[in-house]
Structure 1
Amino acid sequence: MFKHEKKLMHKVRVEKPNPQYAVLMQEQLGGCNGELKAAMQYLSQSFRAKDPVFKDLLLDIGTEELSHLEIVAECINLLNGGDVDYKKIDSGELETMVTFGLNPALINSSGNPWTADYVTVTGDLAADLLADIASEQRAKVVYEYLYRQIDDKYVKETIMFLLEREEAHNALFCEALNKITHDGSNKNFGISEDSRLYFDLSKPGRYFDDPKPEPVEMKNAPGCSCKDKKAKK
């Protein structure tokens, strides 16, 4: 069950309308690294999660991403101003002006519609958490780019809030991944030396001086390591 709180997580203000910048903000509404993508990814992953701890984590963060979607949409609303006027857009995407009537649509900054293809769900908790960490990193990068493109102090405050929340989510996903050691794709499937070898094939790489490369040490993997192999020889 979801509950909508009328108060936003962060107060959204702008110094003045800026339709050109509103176009850029659309990327975090309906783009491949935006808030809708994050919300749908985490909520979708939670449907399969069996451990209640990880399920709650995905549901909680997915729900917060929906609130971020609301914040971004409100920011776009204020940046677009109150009148539909295509003349205010000197360059960029005009679709919010002529098709959606200034409504923050589920499109990216180029006018391409949001798609579920953005969402990564494998059913494997370790793989999904790695995808989530990468998603948070990419979202942070986009927000950093957006932060540099605006002088509006209130918009920058909003972006910084969202960026810092992505950082918090990233830390939570990293902590969750560290708790998974022998589950799913994190199991050690290696049954031969092939799973422990690193071939340096660059030119002139180490391989040419040492045609029999030593196995690399895998600190996070149970069982064999370089030192163990050397000791057995």
Structure 2
Amino acid sequence: MIYKLTKDASISELEAAGLGPNYAQRDHALFYQNSAGVPWTAAYIQAKGDPLADLYEDIAAEEKARATYQWLIDMTDDVELQDSLKFLREREIVHALRFKESVQIIIDDKNQKKIF
């Protein structure tokens, strides 16, 4: 999406948008960072080793991503970009629903009497 939005931008347009340093190092390639410019790191991935705790962490991550996509949709009037963002937003919703179903399966299994 970033490439699509910047592929026809001139160097002066990229500089005016504050993307000059990124262009100088990476052309139009992506560099994964948050909105404050902090680079992505694997430290963002949370895992406890407990299936329920990990699934709840996954659900929270999907909901945060869904909210971010919605904010981005609200920030643009480009219909094609909105369509792409809506697809990504809906994917996050489906992921969260599947994780919630997995939580229920684990809870049901824990509550089931085991006879060996």
Q: Same fold (TM over 0.5)?
A: yes
Segments of structure 1 that go 5 or more residues without pairing to the other structure are 1-74, 188-233
Shift of residue 182, structure 1, vs aligned partner: 7.6
Aligned residue pairs, count: 111
Give the corresponding residue for 1:137. Answer: 63
Q: C-alpha root-mean-square deviation of aligned residues, in Å?
A: 2.3
After superposition, the Cα gap between the structure-2 partners of 1:136 and 1:161, relative to the gap in structure 1 and judged at 3 Å, is same
- Cα deviation for residue 167 of structure 1 reads 0.5
Alignment of 1:33-112 (within 5 A): 75-82=1-8, 85-112=11-38
Is the contact between residue 73 and residue 82 of structure 2 (CA under 8 Å) also seen in structure 1? yes
Letter in 2 for 1:161: F
| Alignment of 1:127 onto 2:53 | yes
Within the candidate set 71, 80, 104, 1:178 is matched to 104
- The equivalences for 1:147-162 within 5 A come to 147-162=73-88
1:191 is matched with none
Q: 1:83 deviation in Å?
A: 5.2
Shift of 1:82: 3.8
Q: How far apart are the structure 1 equivalents of 2:14 and 2:60?
A: 36
2:103 and 2:26 map into 1 onto residues whose CA distance is 41
Distance 1:95 1:112 in 2: 14
Contact 1:136 1:167 in 2 (8 A): yes
TM-score, reference length from structure 1: 0.43
Structure 2 unaligned segments of length 5 or more: list them: 112-116
Normalising by structure 2, what TM-score? 0.82
Distance 1:99 1:86 in 2: 15
Q: Give the Cα separation in 2 of the matches to 1:88 and 1:101.
A: 10
Give the structure with higher Rg (CA). Answer: 1
Residue 84 of structure 1 contacts residue 97 of structure 1 at CA under 8 Å; is this kept in 2? no
Determine if contact 1:136/1:169 at 8 Å carries over to the other structure.
Answer: yes
Q: 1 or 2, which has the higher helix percentage?
A: 2
Contact 1:80 1:102 in 2 (8 A): yes
